[in-house]
Structure 1
Amino acid sequence: MDDDSSHAEDKETPRLGYCEVCAVKPAKYTCPKCELKTCCLNCVNIHKRELECDGVRNKVKFVPMQKFSSLELQNDFNLLEQVSNSLFKYKRDPVKNSGFLSYNNLPFPLHILRKYAFMRKTQLRFLPKLFTKHKLNTSCVYKHKLYWRVEWVFVSANIKHIDEKLIDSTRLCVAMKTPLENPELAFYQSAGTNGLLVLMKVERSPKYYILDSSLSIAENLRNKVILEFPIFYVIFSYEKDMFDIEDVENIGKMNLHRSKQTRTETSLVNDLEQSIDDEPHNVSAESENINMSSEDVLQPILGSKNQVVDVTDYASVSYENYEYDY
C-alpha cells in the first residue's frame, strides 16, 4: 500500500511544477528569456504583457561557472558559428563590401557637386552609398547653378518639409515662405520672420549655428561642413536658450583650422576643375525651372532606390585621405 501511494504522489507532481501565471494547471512551457513556467498560450501572452518579456533568449547572458553546463557550451559555440557565417557572407556581398565614398572613387556627378560647393567655400561630405541620407540626396548642378535638397524641421510642431531642389542663391527668408504655407504651421506663420530663428547643426558637435534669414543659402553655408545636404531647424526666438549655440569666436577658430585642411585639397580640386572644364556644358539662356528629363541635370544618386538601409548610430567615412567620424 505504501508503494502504491508513493507512485501516486509522483504522478500527481508535474515535472516543471505548476503554472506560475494561473497556479492551477501543470506547467508545460518555460520562457527562454525569463524562465517563467506556463501551461498554455493564454498564460504565455499574459506573462509577456505583464512582464514586458519578448520571449527571446539572451544569447550573451552571463552564466556563473556553477551553472555552466554542456548546454551553455553548445549555445556559445552556435553563437560564434553564427557570427562567423555572417562575417563571411558580408565579405562575399559586393554591395555591402563596397567601402566608403572617398575622393578617388567619387562618381563624376558627385565630383561636380562637390566642386561647386567648394567654389562657394562650403565643404561637402558624402556618406557611403548604402546610407539612407545619401540615397535621399537630390542636390544637383544645373546649368552652372547649384541646387540643394533642403530639409526644414519645425521643432515645436514636429513637422518636416522637404525642398527637393532649391537654388542656393535664394534668400533664406524667401525659401522659408513655402513650408510656412502649411496650415499646421499657423503659429509659425503668425510669429513672422522676426519671431523665428533658423538653426543648423554643427557636424560632429551637439551645437547649432544661427543662420541669417536675410542672406542667401550659399552665404549661410559659407565656411561650414555639410553632410550630403543641409537641414534647417526652425524655432521660435524665445526657444533659443533651449539649444547650445555655437560662439562666433569658436566659429573663427574652426574656420582657421579647416582652412589648413582646405589647402591640401586645393591641388586635388585644381585637377578636378581642369577635367570639368573639358566637359561640354550648356551655357544657353538659363532657366530657373528644372527639366527633370534634361541630360544637363546631374543627380548624385546612384544605385537602386528600392533598397534603403538605416544606419544612424556610427559611421567612419574615409574622405580625401582623411578620416571623419559621424
Structure 2
Amino acid sequence: MEVRGLQNALRYKNGKRSWGAGVRRHKYFYLMVLPMVLFYLIFAYVPMYGVVLAFKEFNYSLGILHSPWNQFQNFHEVFGSPDFKTAFNNTLLISFGRLLIEFPMPILLAILLNEMRSSGLKRIYQTVFTFPHFISWVVLSGIITSLLSDQGVLNQLLEAFGMGKNTILFNNGSFLGLLFASNIWKEAGWSAIIYLAAIAGINPELYEAASIDGANRFQQIKAITWPVLRNTAAILLILAVGGVMNGGFDQIFNLYNPAVYQRSDIIDTFVYRSAFTDATGFGFSTTVGLLKSVINFALLFGANFIVKHGLKEEGLY
C-alpha cells in the first residue's frame, strides 16, 4: 500500500495527475483518436496558411509566402463581380429555402414513424427512407437527368400521349423545386435517425398516463414527443444555419446547367468555375472562400446566441 501510495503521489503535481501519466494510462483511447486528429491536422489546419492568397498577387515562381501583397485587390474584384453577387444571392435563397422546406421534414418523418403501431412495418419504412442517403449525387443526378432531360423517359412518354415536353431541368423555378424535392427524398430518412434516437429515450409510461388522462395522439405528440425533440432540433438548426453559405455543392454541381445559372449558381460552384474554368486566379477564388467561411462563422455564433437567449434552449456552447 505504501509503495502504491508513493507511486500515486509521484504521478500528481499540485493536486493534478501529470499529463504523461494520463496518456500512458489511456493510451488505447488516444490511439483510437489519433487517425481523426491527423486527418484534421493534414487536411484542415495545415492548408489554412493558404488563406493568405486572398491578400496576395500569387506568383508561381515565388510561391505563396513570397508572393507580393496586393492591397486587398482581390476583395475589390470579388465585390465588383456581378457573377459573385448573383451566386451570393442564389446561395442565400437556396440555403434559407432548405431551412424552411427541408429542415422540418426529418422531424415530421420521425414523428410519423414513431406513431406506427407495427414495429415490423416501421423498420421496413425506415429502411426504405434511409436507403437513398447511400446513393451518391453523381449516380442520382444521372438517374434524374435520364428521366427529365429533353430526350429523357418522361418526355418520351409525354410525347407518346401527345403532351408537351417538361422543362424542369431548364426552368429556374422548377429546377429549384427539383433541388428541394430530391434532397428531401435523399436525406430526410437519414436525418430522421437522430430524432428517432431521441424519441426512443422517452418512457412509454408517459404515453400510457397521457392516454388514461384522455389525451389523443396529437396531444401526446405536443406534450411529450415534441418537448424531447426541441433541444435536438435546436442544436441541428444551429449547425444548419452555420452552413448556410454552403448551399449544397454536390447536388447542384451534378444537376445544374447553363440554362439555370441565374437561379442555381451558388458560391461553391462559382469558386469552382473561377479557379478551374474561368482562370481568374487562386487569389480570387480564395477570397470568395474566405468570405464564405467568415459569414458562416458569424451565422453559427448568431444562431447559437438566439437559440440560447431567445428560445431558452441549450446551444452548442
Same-fold status (TM-score > 0.5): no
Q: TM-score, normalised by structure 2?
A: 0.22
Which has more strand, going by share of residues? 1
Please tell me whether Structure 1 or Structure 2 has the larger radius of gyration of its CA atoms. Answer: 1
Larger RCO (CA within 8 A; separation ≥ 6): 2
Which has more helix, going by share of residues? 2
